[in-house]
Every structure is written in C-alpha cells, then in structure tokens.
A and B are shown apart, each in its own frame.
Chain A
Amino acid sequence: MDSAVSVHDLSKTYIVHERSSGVRAAVRGIFRRQKKEVKAVQAINFEIQPGEIVGFLGPNGAGKTTTLKMLSGLLYPTGGEARVLGHLPHLRERQYLRQITLVTGQRNQLIWDIPAADSYDLFKAIYEIDPDLYKRTVEEFVEILDMKDLVRKPVRNLSLGERMKVEIAGSLLHHPRVLFLDEPTLGLDVPMQRRVRKFIAEYSQREGATVLLSSHYMADVEALCRRVIVIHQGGILFDGDLSALAARFTSHKKVIVKPADQSLDLSGYGEIVESELGSVSFRVPKSEVPGMTARLLAEVPIVDLAVEDPPIEDVIDVVFAKGAIE
C-alpha cells in the first residue's frame, strides 16, 4: 500500500533579520539589515501509512510546527521532498486540499459573528460536499459532541471549550483523509480534552484517516498515538513506538515500595525521589533493579512493591536536555 505521508530529506531554512540592540543599530537597520540563516528543519525522513496516528514531540522551536506546515502546504520546503497522498503539498492543488484539514488550538476558522451552523454551510459550499452526506455528517457530529444548542449560537458567545468542539466538528465535515493537528487541546479543561481526543480517535478509526498530531500535552500523545516522532533542533531524534521511547531513553526505572513499618529509613537501598503516605519511590538504574529489589524483599517486610517506567514527561525532559541517545 502506498504511504499516506512520505518525507525525504525535507529541509526548511529561514532567513531571519538580526539586529543588535540600541538606537544606532536601529537607524542602521533602516538601510541595511543583517541576515542570519536558521535551519528549522534539516533533512528529515519518515513514512506514515494510511490510518496511522502519529505524534510529533519536541520542544518549542524544534521544528514540529514547521514540519506540519510544510506537509499541509502552508510553507515551501527549502530542500528535499514531501508527498502527502501522492501530492506535493506546497502546490496547494484543489484535489489535495479537499482531502486534508488543519486544526490549530486557540485559533478560529469559523466566522466569529455568526452561528457555527452557518459557517458549516459555507464549508459545504467551499468543499462542495454532497448535500445528503453533509446533512448526515452534521447530525452525527452534533449528536456525538452534544452540540445541539452550541451550533445555533454565534461563535463569539461560546466558551473556549465549546468553541473548540464546534471548530473540530467543522474541520471534519468534508471527511478529510489526513488531519494535521497542532496543539488541538490547548487551553481546554481535562474532560473537554478527553472528549476531543475520543472524537478524533473514533473518526480516524472509522474513516481510516491519517492523523499527524503535534502537542505539548503528553496526555494527548499517550491517549491517541502509538507511534511518535521526536523532533529536536530540526532533526528526528526518535521514530517509533511510544513505549520503546521510554525504554530507549532512560537508564532508570522507578521502584515503589510500601513497607510494613513506615518509620523505617530506607535511604540505604537507593535514591529516594518521593516519600508520602507510606509509599516510598526510588530511582534505580536499570541494571541494579533486580539486585536492589531482591535485597529489599529479603531484608524488609514489604506490603507492596512495584517497578515502573519513569513517566513520559520525565523521559521527554531527558531527551530534550541531552539531545542524544544515551
């Protein structure tokens, strides 16, 4: 089967105007500006199959948004090639644009002053959606997302969470095959985040749509994506299963112990990172885990013991801080 997204040696270099501070430099800036090259994305490669939900992780400025923009056709690449659904995105062919959608957290594409339902009518006209299909789709989305009253109100009167719901629904009306999501749950409360994630996951499964998701919220990525691509300083640091990420990037595990006697001092067994409510957490190098746990079990009466991978957030922090594979 042909890949949905195919990226070869994709690069994007920006020219940024740089200026030192001070008034004199500012005046000089009128006549000549110093330029600096910023390599936002450097020769990255990956393939995504249809139906995959891939998470893009990376610190700010790593190149995630730039990559997404190049794939959705908003930015011209400076080098290499990207193909989505067989098209070159930057050509912005109508056939291509009909099959994709872009959702950016906190930025609205629905018209502010009119009810969402009216904006949906506009989308129907723009995307030339079959009227019956359109009607069914709207009814379906309204039902699933519980938006019956919301779509009748002007968008500006909705709360942030409500707005996001109608926005996401609007962006999927034309049944796109590829979804580009850039921080879609930004600013939403937890229940709303879950609602949105569920909606996206179900849509993808039902339609076989490919989803490229860029998010800071690990919860988004954990909930939706099996595969993650970690982008750091314009390059791909890791491309694979989320679970493998932890395994690859960390040298430690978390050992959580509930001793029978809570007053015991267990600091001799390893580095304690947390101690509360009778439960003590250790940070233990992977290689030492068997030995340390064996000793604990033998020498101390234990009520409960668990060995865990460190939380993904910590993993990511390590990844970004080190910027390399350990």
Chain B
Amino acid sequence: MKHIAQVLLAAFKAHLIATFQYRVQEGMQMIGLLVESLIYLVVWTTVAKARGGEVGGFSTDEIAGYFIAWMFVRNITTGWSPYAMEWRIRRGDFNSLLLRPVHPIFADTSEMLASKAVAMITVIPAMIALALVFKPRFELVPWSLVALIPALILAFVLRYVLMYVLALTAFWTTRLGGLFELWYGVEFFFSGRVAPLTVLPEWAQQVANLLPFKWMFYFPLELLLGRSQPDEMLFGFAMQILWLTVMVLLIRFVWRRATRRYAAVGG
C-alpha cells in the first residue's frame, strides 16, 4: 500500500511538471469550463428576471451563485474525456502503460489530479471575477463546507470511475460516437449542469434521485452553497457510497474483459 502511495506521489509530481508545460492547452480547458457556466448563468438569470426574480427556488442572485460555484465543482469532477481515451488507444500510448507494474488507473489519476491543481489557479480568479460582475448570493454554512470535502472526493471518484468504464469501451469499438453522446446528454440534465435540479419537472427530479449523476455534481454543489439540510446530506453520502460500490464492481469486470480484448492498435 505504501508502495502505491509512493508511486502516486512521484507520478503526481511528474504530471504536475508536465501540466505546467501545457499552459495554452490547460488554458483551453479552462475556457471551455468558463464558457459553459457563463452561458447557463446568463440564460437562467434572464429567465429568473423574466419571472420576476425567481426560478426553481433560486432567486436571481442565488442562480448566479449556483453557476459560479458550478465552476468549482465542475473542475473537480471532470475526468478523462472518452475522446482523449480513444486518442490514446489509437496512438498505442496505452501499450507502455499496460506494461508498467502498477495499474494504469493510478498513472491516470495522478495526471488528472495534477491538472486539476493547476486548473484551480485559473478557476478561483475566474470565480472571483464573475462574482464581482454578477453579485451572487449564497450562504457559507460551516458544517456544510466540512461535509463538502468528502462529498467532493467521492463525487470525483464516482464520476472518474464511471467515465473510465465508459472510455474502456473504446477497446471494443474504435468509433465511440453514440454511446458517449447519450451518456453526456443524460448527465447534462440529471446532474444539475444545465440547470438546478429544482427547475426540472417533478418526474425528472424523481429520476434524478435514482441516477448516479446527481450525486456526482448537484449534491456537492448544494453543500457548497449551503442549501442542504443535514438529513439530505446523509442521504447524499449514502447514495454516493452505494453508487461507488456499483462502480468498483463494474470497473473490475470491464477491465478484465478489456485487457483480454486489447490488441495493439495504431503501432
């Protein structure tokens, strides 16, 4: 176990250095994140204003706060895009990773964490800038913020593993297309990314509770905004752990099939 920790730390350092090299590219990822949150911030504040200052239980300022905090949570929970995965497999990058004595997911994790650390350098100032412009309103509730930390970690792990599983399907088909788009589409609505879940119709909110997406995004976001009640928080953690168990089982299953299936492509 200690060995793994050492390896992770070394990998993290190496990736941190690498990430600093790719300044422009990190910048691009930042822009993507910023733009997406900005679009929906503007859309929903417009809607709120048209309704006289409220939508889905959020006032206009609170909606602004939602989407600013959105940036923070989104940065934490993004993972390897399936296209990146496909690219790596096509280029045969996976070969060297598979030959290492440590499971590839660890190398990827450290790289992921390193890039998030660097991304935060841009996200935080961006959040501040947006806050100055849109003057959001939210509450900083101490116990909520404490609960946020494990919630964020679990959310990241959950989403990361799920994305990894999905990306592994790249071993079976070199044209990923449909599956991912469907996944993204569903996640888009049921995670709270396009709008707070309270804006959704009643039936959709029920569905959202059953799917894992809410627990990967909306749940920590609510904690950050101080909008959660203690019992909701406990329920949220329970769901996160439940889904995590499912994911771990799933990835072990898929990984075994994937490595068996793996043929060096694009050498």
A interface, CB within 8 angstroms of B: 21-23, 26-27, 29-30
Asked whether A30 lies within 8 Å of B13 as measured between CB atoms, the reply is no
Q: Look across to chain A and name the residue whose beta carbon is closest to the beta carbon of B20.
A: A26
Given contact pairs A22-B17, A29-B20, a sample of 8 additional A-B residue pairs in the complex whose CB atoms are under 8 Å apart: A23-B13, A26-B16, A26-B17, A26-B20, A26-B21, A27-B20, A30-B20, A30-B23
CB neighbours (8 Å) of B17 from chain A are 21-23, 26
Q: In angstroms, how far is the closest chain B Cβ from the Cβ of A200?
A: 26
Mask: chain B, 7-21; 1 = CB below 8 Å from A; 0 = not? 000000100110011
Q: In angstroms, how far is the closest chain A Cβ from the Cβ of B163?
A: 27
Interface footprint category on B? under 10
Whole-angstrom CA separation of A23 from B17 in the bound complex: 6
14 A-B pairs within 8 Å (CB atoms) are namely: A21-B17, A22-B17, A23-B13, A23-B16, A23-B17, A26-B16, A26-B17, A26-B20, A26-B21, A27-B20, A29-B20, A29-B21, A30-B20, A30-B23
* Residue among B13, B16, B17 with max Cβ neighbours from chain A (10 Å): B17
Q: Look across to chain A and name the residue whose beta carbon is closest to the beta carbon of B267.
A: A160
Q: Look across to chain A and name the residue whose beta carbon is closest to the beta carbon of B18.
A: A26
**When A and B form their complex, what is the total count of cross-chain residue pairs whose Cβ atoms lie within 8 Å?**
14
Q: Look across to chain B and name the residue whose beta carbon is closest to the beta carbon of A21.
A: B17
Whole-angstrom CA separation of A21 from B16 in the bound complex: 12
Q: In angstroms, how far is the closest chain B Cβ from the Cβ of A20?
A: 11
Q: In angstroms, how far is the closest chain A Cβ from the Cβ of B20?
A: 4
Whole-angstrom CA separation of A23 from B20 in the bound complex: 9
Q: In angstroms, how far is the closest chain B Cβ from the Cβ of A223?
A: 28
Q: Look across to chain B and name the residue whose beta carbon is closest to the beta carbon of A160.
A: B267
> Top 4 closest A-B pairs, CB basis?
A26-B20, A26-B17, A29-B20, A30-B20
CB neighbours (8 Å) of A26 from chain B are 16-17, 20-21
CB neighbours (8 Å) of B20 from chain A are 26-27, 29-30
Whole-angstrom CA separation of A30 from B117 in the bound complex: 14
Whole-angstrom CA separation of A277 from B21 in the bound complex: 58
CB neighbours (8 Å) of A29 from chain B are 20-21
CB neighbours (8 Å) of B23 from chain A are 30
- Identify which of residues 1-44 in chain B touch chain A, using a CB-to-CB cut-off of 8 Å: 13, 16-17, 20-21, 23
CB neighbours (8 Å) of A22 from chain B are 17
CB neighbours (8 Å) of B13 from chain A are 23
Q: In angstroms, how far is the closest chain A Cβ from the Cβ of B63?
A: 34
Whole-angstrom CA separation of A129 from B21 in the bound complex: 45
Mask: chain B, 176-191; 1 = CB below 8 Å from A; 0 = not? 0000000000000000
Q: In angstroms, how far is the closest chain B Cβ from the Cβ of A177?
A: 35
Q: In angstroms, how far is the closest chain A Cβ from the Cβ of B198?
A: 40
Whole-angstrom CA separation of A26 from B23 in the bound complex: 11
Q: In angstroms, how far is the closest chain A Cβ from the Cβ of B104?
A: 23
CB neighbours (8 Å) of A27 from chain B are 20
Whole-angstrom CA separation of A266 from B20 in the bound complex: 64
CB neighbours (8 Å) of B16 from chain A are 23, 26
Q: In angstroms, how far is the closest chain B Cβ from the Cβ of A33?
A: 10
CB neighbours (8 Å) of A23 from chain B are 13, 16-17
- Identify which of residues 37-81 in chain B touch chain A, using a CB-to-CB cut-off of 8 Å: none
Q: In angstroms, how far is the closest chain B Cβ from the Cβ of A299?
A: 58
Q: Look across to chain B and name the residue whose beta carbon is closest to the beta carbon of A17.
A: B21
Whole-angstrom CA separation of A23 from B23 in the bound complex: 15
Whole-angstrom CA separation of A233 from B158 in the bound complex: 53
Q: In angstroms, how far is the closest chain A Cβ from the Cβ of B42?
A: 31
Q: In angstroms, how far is the closest chain A Cβ from the Cβ of B93?
A: 17
Q: In angstroms, how far is the closest chain B Cβ from the Cβ of A204?
A: 32
CB neighbours (8 Å) of B21 from chain A are 26, 29
Q: Look across to chain A and name the residue whose beta carbon is closest to the beta carbon of B266.
A: A156
Q: Look across to chain B and name the residue whose beta carbon is closest to the beta carbon of A156.
A: B266
* Residue among A21, A22, A26, A27 with max Cβ neighbours from chain B (10 Å): A26
Whole-angstrom CA separation of A30 from B23 in the bound complex: 7
Q: In angstroms, how far is the closest chain A Cβ from the Cβ of B186?
A: 32
Whole-angstrom CA separation of A21 from B20 in the bound complex: 12
Q: In angstroms, how far is the closest chain A Cβ from the Cβ of B109?
A: 18
Whole-angstrom CA separation of A30 from B21 in the bound complex: 8
Q: In angstroms, how far is the closest chain A Cβ from the Cβ of B205?
A: 43
Whole-angstrom CA separation of A29 from B20 in the bound complex: 7
Q: In angstroms, how far is the closest chain A Cβ from the Cβ of B230?
A: 40
Q: Look across to chain B and name the residue whose beta carbon is closest to the beta carbon of A28.
A: B20
Whole-angstrom CA separation of A280 from B17 in the bound complex: 56
- Identify which of residues 145-162 in chain B touch chain A, using a CB-to-CB cut-off of 8 Å: none
Q: In angstroms, how far is the closest chain A Cβ from the Cβ of B127?
A: 20
Q: In angstroms, how far is the closest chain B Cβ from the Cβ of A26?
A: 4
Whole-angstrom CA separation of A22 from B14 in the bound complex: 9
Q: In angstroms, how far is the closest chain B Cβ from the Cβ of A17?
A: 9
CB neighbours (8 Å) of A21 from chain B are 17
Q: In angstroms, how far is the closest chain B Cβ from the Cβ of A163?
A: 13
Whole-angstrom CA separation of A22 from B21 in the bound complex: 13
Whole-angstrom CA separation of A148 from B69 in the bound complex: 63
